[in-house]
Chains A and B, each alone.
Chain A
Amino acid sequence: MSSYQLDHLQYLETEAIHIMREVAAEFERPVLLFSGGKDSICLLRLAEKAFRPSDLPMPFLNVETGHEFPELIEFRDRRAKELGAKLIVRTVDQAIANGTAMVAPGEISRNKLQIPVLLGAIEEFRFDCAIGGARRDEEKARAKERFFSFRDGFGQWDPKNQRPEIWNVYNARLNAGENMRVFPLSNWTEMDVWEYVRQEKLEVPNIYFSHRRDCFRRGGQWLPVPPPHTDPTKPDPYEGARPKPNEKRETLVVRVRTIADMISTGMIESPADSVDDIIGEVSAARVTERGTRADDKASEAAMEDRKKAGYF
């Protein structure tokens, strides 16, 4: 390769930096969605590359379901602090308490309940743009997503009426009340993310690496056994997500491949305890990353339906 040529990671990186800077320049109140997961960890590095030596020109936002892995929360808070960024956290619990989110009878997952919380935070802080770490290779509905994904006043995505995106000229114009979701990692694959983690020597939460964990079998997946319910004065936040007597329970050597919350994240049995091992595992994998996400298995159009309603 000639010296004036970028390899695939460098190409994806410059594309993403360009998009981040467009956001900073074109929007008044952008926010970056940071969960502590591997994709948003890459977003943070790209933000540093886009904006340093200045401060990052946008706060971070995370929507908690209340079922988070504690390791992830610790990591999220620490990284935000290290980067000198303001971290805003809004929770499904608050939204249930103030009535903006309603729990569907019998529904254990709080995945869908993140939608009103996210839209509430956008309204509360008058954010006009939210940068997310979603990738097109994750899911078929995402494969049709634009870098700059226009949302109407209700936060809805209309897949049949997207703005065409031509060259690297992004139309970021909005009317009052509308907002944009921007996905700089659109063209990245799971493999690209891990190769970038390796190249940039990025720290990731230790649940991505092999560890021993109490798991139980449900819906063809190994789910983590939630932490014990210690405060009897409050309802059990993990009600319904605890192993039932007829469900097989085992301590396994596992790791996560993709992180939602404890209820929606299938653990995979794996000895991979380094980024190199993970890259080896991903390249040999025979199921997609989202194959371990219980929230996507609901139906073939599960992601499409959530996106139309205003999901990330």
Chain B
Amino acid sequence: MSAPHPIELLRFNTCGSVDDGKSTLIGRLLYDSKNLMEDQLEALERSADITGGGQINLANLTDGLRAEREQGITIDVAYRYFATPRRKFIVADTPGHVQYTRNMVTGASTANLSIVLVDARQGVIEQSRRHTYIASLLRIPHLVIAVNKMDLVDWSKERFLEIRDNFESFLPRLDMKDVKFIPMSALNGDNVVDASKHTPWYVGPTLLGHLEDVHIASDWNLQGFRFPVQWVNRPNNPRDPKLHDFRGLSGQIAGGTVKVGQKVMVLPSGLKSTVKEIWTYGGPLQEAFCPQSVTLVLEHDLDISRGDMVVGLDSMPGANTELHARIAWMHPRPLQRGKKYFLKHTTQTVQAVVTSLENRIDIHTYEPQPEPAELTMNDIGEIRLKVSKPLVFDGYATNRLTGSFILIEQGTNATVGAGMLNPPLEPVKPEYNDFAI
């Protein structure tokens, strides 16, 4: 074996409504790219008699729970892994029924790319608009509209173009920069891994070809250093004097890059210091970048704890107790004004109260409906919150990691909402401006 060459990882999710063929598509990707094993095929054949009437059902590859196979539906987000010589892939199969928003937000929040499946016979339906909206809301960098079941519309170019035009009538409102339309039949494998002989009029890549080629190098935020302190690393080791005084800040870089010698500020205190060392298990680094996990040692011994954020001086985040955000609601108990929740943002959890419900997005028209009484499960809307201590944050559009939060219901501890912060009205103005000590 030769030394391993660097391989990129692409994360994507598939969404569509019931019976659009999501699970079949993933099964087809695995099958045609030779990522299925003999015992998996055997298990498929065994289960074929239960649900498939004797025919192998590729959907059974992802529908792993017994109830799912019995009912022929997908219950929860399922993750699949496959590789080609060019890339490794993590697939989140996000089911489109009752908890569709919750599932899609879960599966798509970490994705580089979303695949929205459309049944060529039905064209654009409410679910297609919803999934496309959520992809844009979560700012998934790349979108694929997979026009599936083309075999059932006789591989009609006109039908494909009609569906594409239909999407393009509302896509400009969604600020999606990279959208690709691919005609396919997941069931028969056309344009999934192998190019279809039925679509001579289509000159683009197959789905897998696109997944291997799409440019993802710039999907992480490399502007504006952000380092939420996750765990204060104090060995306190009396046996080793060097370690006795070691005080490191462990965490994952949530934005930008950091260098030894760089001046940084700790928020919300506003104290400044200089990066003395970037400590890692494998040895010190001169420079580190998002999303690396490192341990920073600063020149000054400041009072810093979990939940604080170390930032670069060139671009300041916001810091406020009043927040304005878009939220996807995921729980049967609705979001109500005045109710208290826990809010977890980067590495800190604070108390939050919803001070106003500004609007609810109508998924048919994408128009905001002002002042709804509540947000119910699967709703998306804009809210204002007040939190118990200032949050150091960026707008979600600038930084997915420092611009996002979850809401947790007090008492049950259920995760009930996913929030995306609007940009701060002004950058933080810390009280202290001098170097510490």
Contact with A along B1-35 (1 / 0, CB 8 A): 10010111100000000000000000000000000
A-B contact count (CB 8 A): 190
- Known pairs A55-B235, A166-B406, A167-B404; A191 contacts B83 (CB<8 A): yes
Count of A interface residues, CB-CB < 8 Å? 69
B46 CB within 8 Å of chain A = yes
* In the complex, chain A residues 178-192 whose Cβ is within 8 Å of any chain B Cβ: 186-187, 189, 191-192
A18 touching B62, Cβ below 8 Å = no
A166 touching B293, Cβ below 8 Å = no
A1 CB within 8 Å of chain B = yes
B150 CB within 8 Å of chain A = no
- Nearest Cβ on chain B to A61's Cβ, whole angstroms: 21
A291 CB within 8 Å of chain B = yes
B79 partner, pick from A17, A136, A171, A279, beta carbons under 8 A: A136
A68 CB within 8 Å of chain B = no
Contact with B along A260-280 (1 / 0, CB 8 A): 000000000000000011011
Instruction: Give the segment of B161-169, B191-199, B344-352, B360-368 that binds chain A.
Output: B344-352
- Nearest Cβ on chain B to A97's Cβ, whole angstroms: 34
B217 touching A198, Cβ below 8 Å = no
- Known pairs A164-B330, A169-B346; A17 contacts B293 (CB<8 A): yes
Chain B interface size, under 10 / 10 to 19 / 20 to 34 / 35 or more: 35 or more
Contact with A along B31-72 (1 / 0, CB 8 A): 000000111100100110000000000000111111101000
Contact with A along B73-109 (1 / 0, CB 8 A): 0011111110100001010000000000011011001
B76 partner, pick from A18, A137, A160, A288, beta carbons under 8 A: A160
A300 partner, pick from B43, B61, B401, beta carbons under 8 A: B43
Residues on A with beta carbons closer than 8 Å to the beta carbon of B65 = 140-141, 144, 159, 301, 304
CA distance A245 to B342 in the complex (A): 64
A54 CB within 8 Å of chain B = yes
A153 CB within 8 Å of chain B = no
A288 touching B414, Cβ below 8 Å = no
- Nearest Cβ on chain A to B239's Cβ, whole angstroms: 11
B252 CB within 8 Å of chain A = yes
Residues on B with beta carbons closer than 8 Å to the beta carbon of A83 = none
CA distance A160 to B65 in the complex (A): 10
- Known pairs A52-B281, A166-B406, A168-B401; A14 contacts B291 (CB<8 A): yes
B408 touching A171, Cβ below 8 Å = yes
B residues contacting A by CB (< 8 A) are 1, 4, 6-9, 37-40, 43, 46-47, 61-67, 69, 75-81, 83, 88, 90, 102-103, 105-106, 109-110, 217, 220, 222, 230-231, 233-237, 243, 246, 248, 250-252, 257, 279-282, 289, 291-293, 306, 330, 342, 344-347, 349, 400-401, 404-406, 408, 413-415, 418
Q: Show 24 A/B contacts (Cβ-Cβ < 8 Å), sorted by A.
A: A4-B257, A5-B217, A7-B8, A8-B88, A14-B291, A15-B291, A18-B230, A18-B293, A51-B250, A53-B246, A54-B235, A137-B81, A144-B76, A159-B76, A164-B105, A169-B344, A171-B406, A171-B413, A189-B83, A191-B83, A291-B37, A300-B46, A304-B64, A304-B66
